[in-house]
Amino acid sequence: MHNFLDPAILFFAFGILAGCVKSNLEIPQPISRFLSLYLLMALGLKGGFALAQSGMTAEIAASLGCAVLLAIVIPLAAYQLLKRFVSGFDAAAVAATYGSVSAVTFITATQYLDVQQVAYGGHMAAAMALMESPAIIIAVVLANSLRQTGTAPVALAFVNGTAVLGSVPGPRVGLGKILHESFTDGTQLLLLGAMLVGLLTGEAGKAAMAPFSVDLFKGMLAFFLLDMGLMTARNLGKLRGQSRWLLAYAAGAPVVHAGLALGMSALLGLSAGNAALLMVLAGSASYIAVPAALRYSIPEANPSVYFSMSLGVTFPLNILLGIPAYTWLATTVLG
């Protein structure tokens, strides 16, 4: 119940309500983009300051290794399941969506843990960065394989969510190009760069940046979640007509993925806070990085499928229910 009384979560719920009643309330795109960049920069700084204080430990190495393993296992398993219900291209796109992560969900989770006074490591921001790209790379490789073997239809593609007959499949995308775009993405660079700044400046930098990265954080997050609530409401209509199997996957798969993360955390002896964040990362789904990457690399996939699943179902469920549930499970199981 405490999660629903958090101002940031209430602004998210208010945004959904405002969108559902067709209000003209909206956050201009440049401001939304600024808020996103601010949150990533503040998170990166916080992680860097924490790393400067703790240094590299066995738990940090285990957490990062676990994050990478999850980022590989989840999309591969998802593809094998989803291709039974949808086309190979759509299966690859959805697998990438749920194999990657949501930065906003992660940032909201860190704020929730702070309020609950559950300790976690700043290195988990690096875990988030590591988990974003593997699923995209895997999806592109799978799509290239489908084109090469000719096992998928070639007469249908989607452009801006609209089916276009007579177009040829997207070109094979080189792995080098995907790797370059993944590791030079502006948001990832900002996050990692901010972590480096925090690591190099330590306590002095933390004190100097506190008015920017600490005092403003809660308000900025609430403003951004208001915008996300409005965006979620706008995409609820796209869920109509979707396969019930896909909707069940959007609601159930995150719980399974989070459970897998909890099991791995228990085996590796991770702390409750780090395990909770790993569960949040495994249970989240991308609605920014993956759609942007797949729009051009896998044009045969229908964006309205994977985008509406992640933003219309998984994101609000995680924000409203998943984060407190994962935290409770992690603290109960791992203490």
Q: Is residue 16 part of a domain?
A: no
Q: Is residue 19 part of a domain?
A: no
CB proximity list for 15: less than 8 A, separation 6 or greater? 225, 226, 227, 228, 229, 230, 231, 232, 233
> Looking up tokens 């309205």, which residue turns up?
304
Tens-digit pLDDT profile for residues 142-195:
888 888 776 544 444 444 455 444 444 555 555 566 666 656 667 778 888 898
Structure tokens at 221: 């997050």
Q: Is residue 288 part of a domain?
A: yes
Report residue 239's pLDDT band, with 50, 70 and 90 as the boundaries.
confident
Q: Exposed, middle or buried: residue 207 (CB in 10 Å: 0-12, 13-18, 19+)?
A: exposed
Query: What residue type is 28 in one-letter code?
Result: P
- What is the DSSP track for 37-73? HHHHHHHHHHHHHHHHHH---HHHHHHHHHHHHHHHH
Q: Is residue 20 part of a domain?
A: no
CATH number at residue 43: 1.20.1530
Q: Is residue 136 part of a domain?
A: yes
Q: Is residue 21 part of a domain?
A: no
Q: Is residue 203 part of a domain?
A: yes
pTM of the predicted model as reported, rounded to 2 decimal places: 0.82
DSSP 8-state secondary structure symbol assigned to residue 320: I
Q: Is residue 325 part of a domain?
A: yes
Nearest to 310 by CA among 325, 292, 291: 291
Taking the CB of residue 61, how many other CB atoms lie within 10 A of it? 12
* Domain of 60, in residue numbers: 2-9+31-334
Structure tokens at 97: 């969506």
Which ranges of the chain does DSSP label H, i.e. alpha helix?
Answer: 7-20, 29-54, 58-82, 88-99, 103-116, 124-132, 134-149, 175-183, 186-213, 217-235, 244-268, 272-283, 289-297, 303-309, 315-317, 323-334
Tens-digit pLDDT profile for residues 245-304:
899 999 999 999 999 999 999 999 999 999 999 999 999 999 877 887 787 778 888 888
- Mean pLDDT: which of 44-53, 184-193, 235-244 is highest? 44-53
| Tally of domains within the chain | 1
